[in-house]
Amino acid sequence: MKILAIESSCDETAAAVVQDGREVISSVVASQVEEHKLYGGVVPEIASRRHAEAIVPVVQQALDDAGLSLDNINAAAVTYAPGLIGALLVGVNFAKGLSLSSGIPLVPTHHLRSHIASNYISNPDLKPPFLCLVVSGGHSHIVKVEDYTKMKIIGRTRDDAAGEAFDKAARTMGMSYPGGIELDKTAEDGNPLAFKLPRPVVHDSEYDFSFSGLKTAVINLIHNSQQKGIELNKADVCASFRYAVVDCLTTNFFKAAQDYGETRLVIAGGVSANSLLRKTLSEECKNRGYEFYMPDKSLCGDNAAMVGSQGYYEYLSGNIADLSLNAYATMSIE
């Protein structure tokens, strides 16, 4: 079964053709990030306009790259939640038009479920059940993936998402949006123990995260030294901050795994590209005798291939929408 997938939840307009949920036939991503960099973050109005301009050529390119026409496509999967509402509406309305004109079924797909599904592409043997740490620019969740379309949230952030904390810390150090990747690279040359940063805990939950205090601590460290005219070693600050975030993420993830008896662990979302997170989990899972899976780095950020993968399993479970389908800025992964 061939699915044409469409993604427009934030600042990437993407389309892909995916076979049976696992094989990517084509994948096109048009990023708007260079334009949003000028403003230090995503400007929703600009994002919607750029999606509207890019959607037709991006979808056409995905079909051309696959050497297919709409006649060869069995269903259209589209991200309908969560994300920027104006951005999501571009993809949803385009997919509805496509479904109406061609008669192919319309499959609504949840953005975070798609991030998890990026693992089905990178790891052909991986099947639920497993425990997944979903860490992106907007969300940080520990999710019990009971089946392809059955999930339960075990832990979540109470304030900032991990990606958001990375981006804000990076911005304070003069790195351009989204700074998570540059912070990660800079941290490679630093000492993670150079600065003592807090490990915020949430008192009424062992699995929930809180990153806002940690983010404020690193911002204060930078501002205080600037006021005193002290130059901090940037690589050391990045390494200490990265270590603190990864420590919080992995501590709660392993605690949840232990308590729920899960021995197959998976990561997903933009922050799953983080080098230290990948390395720490790979090593620690090996020590504990757990299975560990992660998406290829090229599939960690927003793309439509992952939507085509999750869309396949949504289709199989009977999740098919009619033309009344709407987009939603927020929606639980459950």
- What residues make contact with ligand KG4 under the rule CB under 6 A? 10, 115, 136-138, 163, 166-167, 178, 180-181, 184, 269-271, 273-274, 301-302
CB 328 within 8 Å of CB 80: yes
| Residue 30 interacting entry, from Zn ion, ligand KG4, none, C-beta within 5 to 8 Å by type | none
CB of 135 to ligand KG4, least distance (A): 8
28: exposed, middle or buried (C-beta count within 10 Å: 0-12, 13-18, 19+)?
buried
CB of 115 to Zn ion, least distance (A): 6
Per rule CB under 5 A, is residue 167 in the interface with Zn ion? no
Per rule CB under 5 A, is residue 210 in the interface with Zn ion? no
Please state, in angstroms and rounded to a whole number, the distance separating the CA atoms of residues 19 and 64. 15
Which residues lie below 8 Å from residue 73, measured CB to CB, with a gap of 6+? 2, 3, 4, 17, 63, 102, 104
CB of 112 to Zn ion, least distance (A): 7
Per rule CB under 5 A, is residue 164 in the interface with Zn ion? no
Residue of the chain from 13, 26, 109, 136 that contacts Zn ion (CB under 5 A): 136
Show the tokens assigned to 190: 């630093």
Give Cα separations from 285 to 18, 95, 101, 200, 319 (angstroms): 30, 40, 49, 24, 34
| Residue 271 interacting entry, from ligand KG4, Zn ion, none, C-beta within 5 to 8 Å by type | ligand KG4
Q: Vertex 305, ends 304 and 308: CA angle to 5°? A: 90
> Considering only 23-31, 152-160, 224-232, 299-307, which stretch makes contact with Zn ion by CB under 5 A?
299-307
Per rule CB under 5 A, is residue 302 in the interface with Zn ion? yes
Q: CB-wise, 106 or 306, nearer to ligand KG4?
A: 306
Q: CB-wise, 117 or 197, nearer to Zn ion?
A: 117
Please state, in angstroms and rounded to a whole number, the distance separating the CA atoms of residues 177 and 168. 9
CB of 275 to ligand KG4, least distance (A): 6
CB of 221 to ligand KG4, least distance (A): 19
CB of 237 to ligand KG4, least distance (A): 15
Per rule CB under 5 A, is residue 208 in the interface with Zn ion? no
| Residue 138 interacting entry, from Zn ion, ligand KG4, none, C-beta within 5 to 8 Å by type | ligand KG4
DSSP-assigned letter for residue 71: G
- Residue with CB nearest ligand KG4? 270
Q: CB-wise, 108 or 301, nearer to ligand KG4?
A: 301
Size of the site for Zn ion (CB under 5 A): 2
CB of 277 to ligand KG4, least distance (A): 7
Q: CB-wise, 98 or 268, nearer to ligand KG4?
A: 268
Q: What are the beta bridge partners of residue 142?
A: 133, 155
Per rule CB under 5 A, is residue 27 in the interface with Zn ion? no
Q: Which residue has the tokens 């991503």?
A: 29
Order of strands across the sheet that contains 106-110: 23-31, 12-19, 2-7, 75-81, 106-110
Q: CB-wise, 31 or 123, nearer to ligand KG4?
A: 31
Q: Rg of the chain over CA atoms, in angstroms?
A: 20
Orientation of helix 234-260 relative to helix 180-187, angle to 10°: 100
Q: Vertex 93, ends 320 and 161: CA angle to 5°? A: 80
Which residues lie below 8 Å from residue 49, measured CB to CB, with a gap of 6+? none
Q: CB-wise, 66 or 266, nearer to ligand KG4?
A: 266
Q: CB-wise, 99 or 272, nearer to ligand KG4?
A: 272
Question: Could you count the other beta carbons within 10 Å of the beta carbon of residue 98?
Answer: 19
| Residue 192 interacting entry, from Zn ion, ligand KG4, none, C-beta within 5 to 8 Å by type | none
Contact residues for Zn ion, defined by CB under 5 A = 136, 302
